[in-house]
Structure 1
Amino acid sequence: MDTFGSRLRAYRERSGKTRAVLGGLVGRSAEWVKAVESGRLLTPRLPMLLRLAEVLDIDDLSALTGEQSLPVASVTRAGHPAVDSVAAAVQRTTLPAGDPLAAAELRARVDHAWAAWHHASAERTAVAALLPGLLTDARLAARGLDGVDRRRAAVELARVYHLVQLYAAHQPQPQLVWLAADRAMLAAQDADDPGAIAAAAWYYAHVYRSDGEPDAAEQVLLDALDLQGGGDGGGEQIARWGQLQLGLALGHARAGRAGQAWRYWDSADAAARRLGPGYVHPWLMFGSVVVDAFGVTLGIDLVRPGDAVRRAAAVDYSALPSRTRRAGGLIDAARAHLMRRDEVAVVHLLGRALRESVETVRHQPYARGMAMELAGRTGVVGEDARELALAMGIDW
């Protein structure tokens, strides 16, 4: 008989996760997973269904429930109002006539857009106003300039596509993320710039991991790593090399390979320490405090909540010079505490994240899922969670 439990088991086994791993990722025990799979427990409520779907890379809840189609994105992904205009700019196949910007002027404009992404509390709204025009100018420059300036413009075009990918993440148009990642890599390769290729690989690997393809993520990072010269150059080269090490660590953690994950994390940490305690790359955001924050992510993906909570307590989130990264780090800290059933801490950390960046929290599926789950609680936790949910645009 095709039941919820049998479907859950099939998707769990397809993903290569044990009951203990799946239970840990959604804050439950292996025995709970076994009881659900065997039918001894009823089908979970919507918040838990969403957490299971996210962990198992399921796009439509009907795959689990067998009932009417309900895309996960329709619940967990709040569309930004400007997403259609950004998508139209990315998908435009023709360019207007005109003289290209000088490479230096284009770089200044791209730097400004990245600063808006990292420092605005509504970062998607800030960059959405800039991206359509910036895409046009960067594409014109990459096509119209010559020689070294053309290669520099191609590097900037790749950076613009990275911003498009970040903007489009967790939006109801997942094809836009793939398109931006692919075009960024093509622009970086056209520039024949190892540093630009490293950045493109970092962002491309995110797409592969999110799509449940950790091996493809690893390959794109390793290919880029071959071009970096071992990270023995100056500060910029060390940062790009360290970022690739961090990307490899994240992929191995997602695949449950703890030894390899922490080995690459150690390499990233060593690179960050070489750059000094106060160093953070101005737009890639690589540095010691960032590596520390991603250590929490590794602990979560490896289902070691105690380690993740301990690491989160040691991170100086105020030292992250990016509101979006601070909010993202605090969401991960909340995820770690949820795995430990420390719901008061979860609400507190989500509130802190919301104060850093409303839009990061509003568009992050894990944050929305946690708020929805806790909003069903009684008492103070439920009351505070319902307020958070409303701030995220979840109507309770």
Structure 2
Amino acid sequence: MPDRTDNQGGSRLTFAQRARLARDRAGLTRPVVAGLVGRSSDWVKSIENGLIGMPRLPMLLRLAHIYGVDPADLIGDERLATASYTKAIHGDLPAIKNALTTYRLRPADRTPESAEVLGARVRQAWKLWHSKGDHRSRIATLLPDLLADTEHSSRTLDGADRRRALVAQGQAYHLAQLFLSFQPAPELVVLTGDRAMTAAQDADSPRAIAAAAWYMNHVYRDANEAAEARVDLAEQAAALLSQDDQDDLARWGLLQLAVALSFAKVGRAGDAWRYWDRANDAARRLGPDYAHPWLVFGQGIVDGYALTMFNDLMQPGKALEVAEALDLDAIPSATRRSYHLIETARAHGMQDEGVAAVALLQKAFRESPETIQYNVYTRMALPELVKTGPRMVREDAQHLAQGLGVPV
């Protein structure tokens, strides 16, 4: 929601006007919103008419998530300083942007790297992304050359070698998209998603197309695109897979999970759990010890995203039931483990349980510092906990916020 003015002379919109506009743009009725936040339709109406003031942060987060907007855009200039909610900027963002927007043409006589070498480099980059520590910083040093080399090889090689190079190129763009996520560069996130899908289609690889569809679904959800558009893309990609081997079945299950997450975000619980069941069935067929080497699909991920779905459906109690049973050791990715810890903290936050929320955010930080540093919930919740939590919570939240560079 970039437009911060109304249509009558550019005056600032009130919170009530922003809330109404966001709901209209999301295509949701007042009763639907009321059901998602556990309030009455009259409460939503009173918010939009200015009869009730701006709610506290947990409810603001719920409304912003339901409407698919940045909470800072929903808040505007009222009461809360939007600087607290500004997305983090990685120091290597300019270098990655330059790599994506500047053509570095390789000499025609330069020997392209083989598809096998490119594949090995991409696999190493994925290992760095999923391992403990500052994963964004590690892959940022690799991405510019990796992007340039995969592009050169995909233009220069022929036949099957070119198709394999295109597959590697698509994965390089996936890594770039992940690096860019939750930073103020939405146009680059869309660009990398589109380029990855183009490379996958040029490679004529159903598996690469499936992976690109998974990541494009994240783009669509963040942009608040209609659920039907996201579902259609995932189902088209899933239809290309045979499910005859582990890799195909894992990608098919991942796309069922993409649809489930899309429906959960817009409150369509029945459809969401129907597709989650399909993903869960795929994970069970793959076995308890299976996890895709870089997409990380497996039983742990399916269980972890159930937590997110309950949060999105505004059922934090059920989310915490999932968290109680969740085996983080079954998820071979520090970034994903950290994310699921943050989601558990979000569930506690929705229930105003600040002590538990801060403790889990601290644990998420130890697991993967750059995952929590760029997480939107974290950057919004910590300032509120510093201001309103019990003393012990305020001190811990203050310390964590300082370590993450979050303004409070």
Q: Which amino acid aligns with 1:332?
A: E
How far is 1:39 from its partner?
3.0
Tell me what 2:86 maps to.
Answer: 76
323-332 vs 32-41, which deviates more?
32-41
How far is 1:36 from its partner?
3.5
Say whether 1:217 aligns with 2:227: no
2: distance between equivalents of 1:64 and 1:371?
Answer: 17
Does the CA-based 8 Å contact 1:74-1:172 persist in structure 2? no
Tell me what 1:258 maps to.
Answer: 269
How far is 1:209 from its partner?
0.9
1: distance between equivalents of 2:248 and 2:200?
Answer: 15
Shift of the 32–326 alpha-carbon distance from structure 1 to 2, 3 Å rule, reads farther
103-112 vs 379-388, which deviates more?
379-388
How far is 1:29 from its partner?
4.5
1: distance between equivalents of 2:121 and 2:17?
Answer: 53
Pick the aligned partner of 2:106 from 96, 100, 116: 96
Shift of the 20–167 alpha-carbon distance from structure 1 to 2, 3 Å rule, reads farther
How far is 1:10 from its partner?
3.2
- TM-score computed with the length of structure 2 as normaliser: 0.89
- TM-score computed with the length of structure 1 as normaliser: 0.91
Does the CA-based 8 Å contact 1:337-1:346 persist in structure 2? yes
How far is 1:150 from its partner?
0.6
Deviations along 1:6-39, whole A, 9 cap, x unmatched? 431332243244667657877x745765554343
Tell me what 1:139 maps to.
Answer: 151
Deviations along 1:186-232, whole A, 9 cap, x unmatched? 00001101001000000011101110012221121111012113x2x
Shift of the 337–66 alpha-carbon distance from structure 1 to 2, 3 Å rule, reads closer
Q: Which amino acid aligns with 1:75?
A: Y
Tell me what 1:318 maps to.
Answer: 329
Tell me what 2:288 maps to.
Answer: 277
2: distance between equivalents of 1:276 and 1:59?
Answer: 38
Shift of the 151–247 alpha-carbon distance from structure 1 to 2, 3 Å rule, reads same
Does the CA-based 8 Å contact 1:324-1:360 persist in structure 2? yes
Tell me what 1:227 maps to.
Answer: 240
Does the CA-based 8 Å contact 1:242-1:267 persist in structure 2? yes
Tell me what 1:360 maps to.
Answer: 371
Shift of the 365–61 alpha-carbon distance from structure 1 to 2, 3 Å rule, reads closer
Does the CA-based 8 Å contact 2:72-2:85 persist in structure 1? no
Say whether 1:201 aligns with 2:200: no
Does the CA-based 8 Å contact 1:331-1:350 persist in structure 2? yes
Q: Which amino acid aligns with 2:264?
A: A
List alignment gaps of at least 5 residues for structure 2. Answer: 1-5, 7-12
Tell me what 1:294 maps to.
Answer: 305
Q: Which amino acid aligns with 1:106?
A: L
Pick the aligned partner of 2:96 from 74, 86, 98: 86
Q: Which amino acid aligns with 1:200?
A: A
2: distance between equivalents of 1:73 and 1:251?
Answer: 29
Does the CA-based 8 Å contact 2:146-2:172 persist in structure 1? yes
Shift of the 247–124 alpha-carbon distance from structure 1 to 2, 3 Å rule, reads same
Tell me what 1:14 maps to.
Answer: 25
RMSD: 2.6
2: distance between equivalents of 1:104 and 1:65?
Answer: 50
Identity, % of aligned positions: 47
276-285 vs 312-321, which deviates more?
312-321
List alignment gaps of at least 5 residues for structure 1. Answer: none
Pick the aligned partner of 1:115 from 127, 136, 153: 127
Q: Which amino acid aligns with 1:79?
A: I
Tell me what 1:126 maps to.
Answer: 138
Shift of the 50–257 alpha-carbon distance from structure 1 to 2, 3 Å rule, reads closer
1: distance between equivalents of 2:407 and 2:18?
Answer: 30
Shift of the 65–394 alpha-carbon distance from structure 1 to 2, 3 Å rule, reads closer
Tell me what 2:406 maps to.
Answer: 394
Shift of the 34–335 alpha-carbon distance from structure 1 to 2, 3 Å rule, reads farther
Q: Which amino acid aligns with 1:133?
A: D
Shift of the 74–335 alpha-carbon distance from structure 1 to 2, 3 Å rule, reads closer
2: distance between equivalents of 1:223 and 1:301?
Answer: 25
2: distance between equivalents of 1:53 and 1:116?
Answer: 33
